[in-house]
Amino acid sequence: MKTPLLFVGGSARSGSTLLERMLASIPGYFSVGELAFVWERSVLRNDLCGCGLRFSDCPFWTAVGEAAFGGWHQVDAKYAARLHTSIDRHRNLDRISGLRGPGKLGSAISAYQELTDRLYRGVREVSGASVIIDASKQVGYALLLRDVPSVELRLLHLVRRSHGVAYSWSRQVRKPDVGDGNGFMSVHSPWWTVSLWVTDNLLYDAIAQRLPRAALVRYEDVVANPRAQLAQIVRELELPAADLTLSHLGDSAADLPASHALSGNPMRFRPGRVVLRADEEWRTGMSRPRQAMISAATWPLLLRYGYPIMAETKRSS
């Protein structure tokens, strides 16, 4: 039996952690976070689970490892991590997507998909979920999931305004889940960020055309009207939902339970009431010339997704 897999795709720093947590509050829905990185960051590096425990100490993921493989020690995690990093690259997208034959990647793709299939079966068995949510965002990984037997891929393309994504990549954010908790998330230049934003969103636009169930949602709309947006996502992707009252969502706040999500934004460690407010610090924190540069580089997609090319910059007095 296939389990619906709600895959959140899009450019990084687009608000996927908040969205997946709100979706995971729907009864029967379960979020795994960014499962694409489970071998590198969780099994090998032993990062923190969303519950606050190290991966190796988390009862949920320990049970998943037992159900899927007879224990994580039964898998060569370094080999699995090498499979992921060697396959999931933009240069391989034509082979992963089927536009070209898999060539020498064929055996690696098959081996990686088999591991991934067993992993999702373990998650379903331990969680009892009717819908699994994965916010890995990786384009190649999304394509690989189409042929994983245990899941039925439903793509949710999440878009955030290019200026907000670029500004988010420019800020230093601590990573409490890695090592001693004193490290920071990557910081990149606006040019690098704009290139990634355009590439990822164009690729997900193309992938959506090749899938029977795909939907588009904007981060700003989710934060402004969460109940309506989540209900629409469930309807558009034809997801099962025994209870869609969404009582955990208010007009400007959400009550979010603790989770076992792996990787992603550090906000996944904070259960309880979360104020829903669009992060638009870029309007005051980003210079006008830089805003204009980003608008010039991304205006076709800004228009495609319904954003004004130049937004009003609110300056504090």
Would 205 be classed as within a structural domain?
yes
Is 95:103 a contact under the CB 8 Å cutoff?
yes
The first and second tokens of residue 4, run together, are 């619906």
The first and second tokens of residue 283, run together, are 């309007």
Counted domains in the chain: 1
Backbone phi, psi, residue 94, to 5°: -65, -35
d(CA 245, CA 258): 20
Domain CATH code at residue 238:
3.40.50.300
The first and second tokens of residue 84, run together, are 């992921």
d(CA 17, CA 25): 13
Would 103 be classed as within a structural domain?
yes
- Please work out, in degrees rounded to the nearest 5, the angle formed at the alpha carbon of residue 240 by the alpha carbons of 5 and 238: 75
Model confidence at 8: pLDDT above 90: yes
Would 300 be classed as within a structural domain?
no
Would 253 be classed as within a structural domain?
yes
d(CA 90, CA 75): 26
Domain that holds residue 49: 3-278
pLDDT band, very low/low/confident/very high, at 176 (cuts 50, 70, 90): low
Cβ contacts of 74 within 8 Å, gap of 6 or more:
none
Would 251 be classed as within a structural domain?
yes
**Residue-level pLDDT at 314:** 52
Element (H, E) at 158: strand 151-159
Sheet order of strands, 214-218 included: 29-33, 131-137, 3-9, 151-159, 214-218
Cβ contacts of 304 within 8 Å, gap of 6 or more:
none
Cβ contacts of 47 within 8 Å, gap of 6 or more:
41, 54, 55, 177, 178, 262, 263
**Residue-level pLDDT at 317:** 37
Helix, strand, coil shares of the chain as percentages rounded to 5? 50, 15, 35
The first and second tokens of residue 233, run together, are 């996502």
pLDDT tens-place string over residues 240-268: 998 899 998 988 899 998 999 999 888 89
Would 95 be classed as within a structural domain?
yes
Model confidence at 72: pLDDT above 50: yes
211: left (phi over 0), alpha (psi -120 to 50) or beta: beta
Model-level pTM? 0.92
Would 77 be classed as within a structural domain?
yes
Pairing between β-strand 253-256 and β-strand 174-175 as defined by DSSP bridges:
unpaired
pLDDT band, very low/low/confident/very high, at 315 (cuts 50, 70, 90): very low
Is 152:93 a contact under the CB 8 Å cutoff?
no
pLDDT tens-place string over residues 201-230: 999 999 999 999 999 999 999 999 999 999
Would 214 be classed as within a structural domain?
yes
Backbone phi, psi, residue 176, to 5°: -70, -15
pLDDT band, very low/low/confident/very high, at 187 (cuts 50, 70, 90): confident
**Residue-level pLDDT at 316:** 42
